[in-house]
Chains A and B, each alone.
Chain A
Amino acid sequence: MSTPKLPAMALALGLGSGAALAAGPNLGIPLEPADIAAWDISIQPDGTGLPIGGGTPAQGARIFAQKCALCHGENGKGGVFAALVGGAPLSGGIDTPKTIANFWGYPTTVFDFIRRAMPWQQPRSLTDNEVYALTAFILAQNKLIGEDDSMNAETLPKVRMPNRDGFIIRFPDKI
């Protein structure tokens, strides 16, 4: 992911180009969708925002060994930091460690978090294909997809997470 380039042109155009708008100062700089693309890494659970590309568990395994195992342990079994594979039943107590397999509701969150935040010391250094491959590897290790299933914008949102329906909205009236 490259450093976002906000439009030099819009900056040069100067302030207040939103004529006849709200009564306020109108000092925002208008943007075109293309200007925002590099920053817009948001993904929705229905798959909206997922980039083109894809990857398989086997591809992910190689990247994982290189870039992730040092913190998350060999094959994600847990090391200095969280295990990405396995997980105890949630009925075991209110402090049961939450894992991808026992807790996470949506597969898109796995892709999104790896893409925006991992590896921890070098975030947004992976290509989208690499993120898909790592996501596929982790889901396959957890037996949530098959060993040969490729993950892409079509297949990923369809993966059913075991705890998908395990949540209660705390204050529905606040939404």
Chain B
Amino acid sequence: MEPKDRAKEELERLEAVAGNGLLGRRAFLRGGAAFTAAVTGYTLARSAGAAPLTDDPWSLVPGAISPPYEQRSRFEGKVVRTLSNPKGETRTSHARTPHQLINGTFTPNGLHFTIVHSGTPDIDPDKHRLVIHGLVKRPLAFTLDALARYPMVSRMTFVECGGNSAPMFSKEPIQASVQALHGLASCAEWTGVPLSTLLEETGIDPKAKWLVAEGADSLALSRSVPLTKALDDAMIALYQNGERLMPGNGYPMRLLLPGWEGNMNVKFLRRLKLVEAPAMSYYETRTYSQLLPGGKAYRFYFLQEVKSFITHPSPGLALKGPGYYEISGIAYSGNGRISKVMVSADGGQSWAQAALQAPVLSKAFTRFRMPWRWDGGPAVLQSRAWDEAGNVQPTRAQFVAQRGETHKVPNVLAFPNQHYNSLTSWAIDGKGEVKHVYA
């Protein structure tokens, strides 16, 4: 037996934490040269292809002028959102986050997902007003200038469309990237004024139980929100990752309801009316009510429940030969912090606990990572997340039993149903190609 093979065998025995090559994270730190050789295939022998190092042309001339607003490297042009309505037809437009092409936990502003139901309005911030009225003691209007003087808070939080992952309701797995399947969720640091501060100033009539939020977009999109959430952690968000909100994310202000259905985080927010009962608006009683097997429907789903998916590797990111890879992905829950993510490389037969990237924040993306040595054979990668409230992602069988699946395979852009939070499985074949499967 070659020394390399012996090292490999030893490592497998000592450091494997689950089937099909999942490795303990400490193995990587402790293993030293033998470990490195085993998992990567490096040896001390000089690499055959290496040419002597020389200076490249860009190292020999002064570089470009610094622009006032930095742009990405011209080599990064493929890292973009995918658009459902690129020609601006008279209907809803979705732009999806390319999770497979970015890393970390927050989404750059230009890549944050957006959905607009009638285009993005061009709002002059000096003319915009936020009106709070209805069952209040004093109806008040707030200008952006006024809000800028209020005590602010910042928090990392994800926003996810209730229809994110809708293709997963298909009876057969749709072959598509993680962007196409799960791209309607993103995470940012939002800064703004707690809604409770403003409601303290308007005063609340004890009869008020809900508020109806409305945007300044052409559909005047409106959603009803329970007052308890408004007084809990709701925010009038003015900044997204340090800069003013992007137009598609509601410039100049949006309602932020951490952990709750994206559509309720009303963008271009111009009005909050306190009322006794929900308005039963179009988006809450039609679009974002979910049909169940048998014909009843959920209303007021609100919560984006615990969920995770692997972003690396994923369809489109083929493996380039056996050896070491990092399996990584995103986990989040509208119920609080992620407490645990388990990863499987054998379709759920055995599981190992992934490392969670600190800090693990409530209602925010958490990046999980798991070292993996691919032996070149078939593998099925899955992740499963738990949150601090004790909720766990249901298995696909459990989920389908409760929520059903479609009779036909829908278009990948369709929304056959909403609020999918079960598992996602990626199958790796002998060539390293990644396919979407149900396992």
A residues in contact (CB < 8 Å) with B: 6, 10, 15, 18, 21-22, 24-33, 35-36, 39-46, 71, 81, 89-91, 93-96, 98, 103-106, 108-109, 112-113, 116-117, 120-121, 123-124, 163, 166-171, 174-175
| B169/A42 in contact, CB under 8 A | no
Residues of B near A91 (CB, < 8 A) are: 294-295
Residues of B near A168 (CB, < 8 A) are: 292, 296-299
Q: How far is the CB of A53 from chain B (nearest CB, A)?
A: 19
Q: Which of B146, B149, B228, B295 contacts A166 (CB 8 A)?
A: B295
Residues of A near B366 (CB, < 8 A) are: none
15 extra A-B contacts, CB within 8 A, seeds A40-B273, A106-B280, A168-B296: A21-B201, A25-B146, A28-B140, A29-B140, A33-B139, A44-B277, A90-B291, A90-B296, A91-B294, A94-B290, A95-B407, A104-B285, A105-B299, A120-B118, A169-B299
Residues of B near A30 (CB, < 8 A) are: 138-140
Residues of A near B273 (CB, < 8 A) are: 40, 42
Q: How far is the CB of B232 from chain A (nearest CB, A)?
A: 10
B90 within 8 A of A: yes
Q: Is the interface of A mostly helix, strand, loop or mixed?
A: loop
| A31/B131 in contact, CB under 8 A | yes
| B301/A170 in contact, CB under 8 A | yes
B residues in contact (CB < 8 Å) with A: 90-91, 118, 129, 131-134, 138-143, 146-147, 149-151, 169, 197-198, 200-203, 212, 214, 218-220, 222, 226, 228-229, 270-271, 273, 275, 277, 279-282, 285-287, 289-303, 403-407, 410, 414, 416-417
> CB-nearest residue of chain B relative to A98?
B286
Q: How far is it, in angstroms, between the C-alpha of A57 and the C-alpha of B1 when the chains are bound?
A: 87
| A170/B299 in contact, CB under 8 A | yes
Q: How far is it, in angstroms, between the C-alpha of A6 and the C-alpha of B128 when the chains are bound?
A: 10
| B282/A31 in contact, CB under 8 A | no
| A6/B129 in contact, CB under 8 A | yes
Q: How far is it, in angstroms, between the C-alpha of A40 and the C-alpha of B212 when the chains are bound?
A: 11
| B298/A93 in contact, CB under 8 A | no
| B229/A174 in contact, CB under 8 A | yes
Residues of B near A31 (CB, < 8 A) are: 131, 133, 139-141
Q: How far is it, in angstroms, between the C-alpha of A96 and the C-alpha of B222 when the chains are bound?
A: 24
| B141/A175 in contact, CB under 8 A | no
Residues of B near A109 (CB, < 8 A) are: 280-282, 285-286
> CB-nearest residue of chain A relative to B227?
A175
| B302/A174 in contact, CB under 8 A | yes
| A28/B141 in contact, CB under 8 A | yes
Q: How far is it, in angstroms, between the C-alpha of A98 and the C-alpha of B417 when the chains are bound?
A: 11
| A94/B286 in contact, CB under 8 A | no
Enumerate 20 A-B pairs (CB-CB under 8 Å) in ascending A order: A10-B141, A21-B138, A24-B150, A28-B132, A28-B138, A29-B146, A30-B139, A30-B140, A44-B275, A89-B295, A90-B297, A95-B291, A105-B280, A106-B280, A109-B286, A120-B91, A124-B220, A166-B295, A167-B285, A169-B299
